[in-house]
Structure 1
């Protein structure tokens, strides 16, 4: 069960917005940059990320992202940490606009050291529930998953997302063409999960 927290405990490390039995999610801190650069600078991570995720993922890349995330209003991008506070990935929402303005896209990544330990599943579920509570106008959260990324598909299916369709041959990444699976979670489905 996730605990939602809203007040900061120290100036240097923000308080978690969500704590689960596997991880905590909090706002980025400048001190997270080196750990995130080390965690994100692997071809296995980059393989399933959009091209806006830099490769190589350098300290400069991490600092740029942290600055960007902290300046967003509303803040919708956060760091996933182990329970001892070590940065282990990122999670966030991409608000849409126009007629899609109440449908936001979920994105996340977890350091390879934490694959297969339930961290991504725990973080994605708790964060999705937090998002629906935090943003009352949000109707649905969707996620696009590259067809080769079976691990992420399993994460989404475990937490109640429904595979709604496949955009055939929609992704071109490093010389490879892939399908894009579209997953969605409606507010009322999240309420049943929570």
Structure 2
């Protein structure tokens, strides 16, 4: 198999899937997979429901995807003036990746998010992931959580930090009712660390958040 089946170059290749930057061609399959109440049930409120075409375009713009189609009803605008490139580019602390099967099929999304804006926990990231229901039961979420976590704690993740240092900690917060995601993280080697009681409100109900963490010593212990 060659990389030609992927519209963007994979960042991480795993046994049954690849993680790669988003592409404009992901719009339709992403909206189709994400527009499911069983997907949004355990996601943050920032994850739209219904997940329509405009929601998909908004997300792909956040991911800096180029050559996107215009929004419905959008008026043509004159091209923006070209700004001078900055003298030095500060790396983005966030990472957004599409999950695809080895044949190129889009199946979901994953990524790493900065924990705070002030930089105190600049070597930590929060991991997130979702898999389209059609692809549940294949172990893909576990593979992604394990693979992205290990990559994030390797020197390769230095591209996400201003000083080029690798990350030290990956964290995940799981709604207490989301037993499936808790099992995913445990199978992937994450350690259950505690509970933020009544930490969030979702669908009008307060829920506890179970905190999982992954640090380098956890990887060493599992070898």
Tell me if both proteins adopt one fold, taking TM over 0.5 as the criterion: yes
Ranges in structure 2 where 5+ consecutive residues have no aligned partner: 66-90, 158-164
**Structure number having the greater helix percentage:** 1
* Counterpart residue number, 1:36: 30
Residues 153 and 215 in structure 2, CA contact (< 8 A), matched pair in contact too: no
Aligned with 1:60 (options 46, 54, 57): 54
Residues 94 and 112 in structure 2, CA contact (< 8 A), matched pair in contact too: no
Distance across 1 between alignment mates of 2:106 and 2:64: 16
* Counterpart residue number, 2:135: 114
Question: CA offsets per residue over residues 88-126 of structure 1, 9 Å max, x none?
Answer: 110000012332221110011010111111010111111
Instruction: Tell me the CA shift for residue 192 of structure 1.
Output: 5.2
Change (3 A) 1:75 1:163: closer
* Counterpart residue number, 1:181: 210
Aligned with 2:102 (options 59, 70, 83): 83
Instruction: Tell me the CA shift for residue 187 of structure 1.
Output: 2.2
* Counterpart residue number, 1:152: 181
Instruction: Tell me the CA shift for residue 189 of structure 1.
Output: 2.0
Distance across 2 between alignment mates of 1:104 and 1:156: 15
- Kindly report the root-mean-square deviation, in angstroms, between the aligned alpha carbons of the 2 structures: 2.1
* Secondary structure of the corresponding residue to residue 70 of structure 1: coil
Aligned with 1:128 (options 146, 149, 152): 149
Distance across 2 between alignment mates of 1:144 and 1:75: 17
Residues 27 and 70 in structure 1, CA contact (< 8 A), matched pair in contact too: no
Work out the number of aligned pairs and report it.
187
* Secondary structure of the corresponding residue to residue 28 of structure 1: coil
* Counterpart residue number, 1:25: 19
Question: CA offsets per residue over residues 138-175 of structure 1, 9 Å max, x none?
Answer: 11000000011111100100011001000111121111
Change (3 A) 1:46 1:191: same
Which is worse superposed, 97-106 or 115-124?
97-106
Ranges in structure 1 where 5+ consecutive residues have no aligned partner: 1-7
